[in-house]
Structure 1
Amino acid sequence: MDRKCFLFLLCMNISVSFILLPDAPRRIVKVLKVSNGGSWGRWGITQFCAEGTYAVGYQLKIEQYQLNGDDTSLNAIALVCKDPDGVRYGGKVTSNQGIWGTWYNNASCHNIDGTPAFLTAFQLQVQRSVGEFDDTAANYVKFKCGDFGSVYKPFELASPPGHGHYGQMGDWSDSCPPMSAICGIKTRVEQPLTDGDDTALNDVEFYCCVDNPDVGK
């Protein structure tokens, strides 16, 4: 939306719900957050799916249970992006990552008739601080899927086995507004410690976008 159009809408007393972030390449209508994220580390930069595409699935980088070693569990989250027709690939995007673990297979949204669905809400599994014992912070994430036409009821999507080794799932985030879906990600990651208890990924935020300028007014 250009500046003249935006000011015109304000003068006409029309509600504009786009969130204006500096240098954001997409029209953001909502930022999805949860309250149980870990507090260690720094936030990375936000990364977005290509213009006109949205997250149809995700992939996790997880360090397996270390027995007597230092566990970090969830190290990174990547969004897999496609256009609303499910044809054009919009890249695989991620933000800050931990250095440990292995990338696992994609988990993707599909409606019961095979048409594309998109990520619209999330839930984060986090271990609270355990003091002198081994902290791991974020362990797992799962999502809800929905379609742009609201034809089907939103459904849950979890990459197998659907949970991590430590901590509890928190409350679900808000959902993306109608006719929008997740298109961006920003993660909070603790960088490797020289001599200490590593936790890697602690928290995450997702961004809901639209490409139709009439949505969100």
Structure 2
Amino acid sequence: MQLTSPTVFFLLLSCCLWDVESKNVASVISVTNGGQWGEWGERKVCRTSEAKGFSLKVQLGQGSFSDDTSLNGIRLICTDDSVITSAVGKYGTWLDAHYCPSGFLASFSLRVSKERLFDNMAANNIKFKCTDGSELEGNGLAWGEYGKWSKSCEEAGICGIQTKVDTHKGIFSLDNTGLNDVKFFCCT
């Protein structure tokens, strides 16, 4: 049997995607206070390991009469040192990473601003609990309130992410919000 170029490409692509998605996802953890705007990005999963740390993409406060988006992205750092992200907003800068002293990320709480008449921001920061019992807080902004903690990954740590992001609407939109919500995947 002779393989054509498109067939070879498809076989190579499906092999690589199968490897990325082959990690057994045991459960999904989420919180109830996420923002309402945006679309869910792709699900991303660590190739062979759990997440040992994270970093945030944050837009600092823009001052009066400017549009704030605050939290725009979350990166997970896997134990094999690979980095995964789902959807990411346009604004802000990637800040320093935070790592569990030992173990993996296991549960989270999201800091979210309530809906306002103008300049909504949605998510502003995140905290994680590690499997070793330690707690890590991101270096996002202090606006809004932290909600309840998610359930904890039971068998292993967090190994995947999916984010809900309000994408840039252009110069005629007066209110972009950045990252609104996130869910994480627990693996076996």
C-alpha deviation, 1:25, in angstroms: 2.3
1:189 counterpart SS class: strand
Indicate the residue corresponding to 2:96 in structure 1.
Answer: 105
Percent identity (aligned) = 42
Cα deviation 1:39-92 (Å, max 9, x = unaligned): 1010001001112x110000000000101210000000000001xxxxxx2410
Indicate the residue corresponding to 1:56 in structure 2.
Answer: 52
Amino acid at match of 1:173: S
Q: Give the TM-score, by structure 2 length.
A: 0.84
Amino acid at match of 2:178: A
Quick check: 2:60–2:141 contact (8 Å CA) kept in 1?
Answer: no
Cα deviation 1:125-167 (Å, max 9, x = unaligned): 0111102x210010001100014xxxxxx2211134xx52321
1:165 paired with 2:142, answer: yes
Indicate the residue corresponding to 1:85 in structure 2.
Answer: none
Q: How many residues align?
A: 166
Q: Give the TM-score, by structure 1 length.
A: 0.73
Amino acid at match of 1:29: A
Indicate the residue corresponding to 1:144 in structure 2.
Answer: 129
Task: Name stretches of at least 5 consecutive residues in structure 2 with no aligned partner.
Answer: 1-19
1:129 counterpart SS class: coil
C-alpha deviation, 1:24, in angstroms: 3.5
1:209 paired with 2:187, answer: yes
Cα deviation 1:176-216 (Å, max 9, x = unaligned): 01x31100000000111122200010000000001xxxxxx
Structure 2 CA distance, aligned partners of 1:66 and 1:164?
12
Indicate the residue corresponding to 2:4 in structure 1.
Answer: none
1:94 paired with 2:85, answer: yes
State the superposition RMSD in angstroms: 1.3
Indicate the residue corresponding to 2:7 in structure 1.
Answer: none
1:181 corresponds, among 157, 165, 169, to: 157
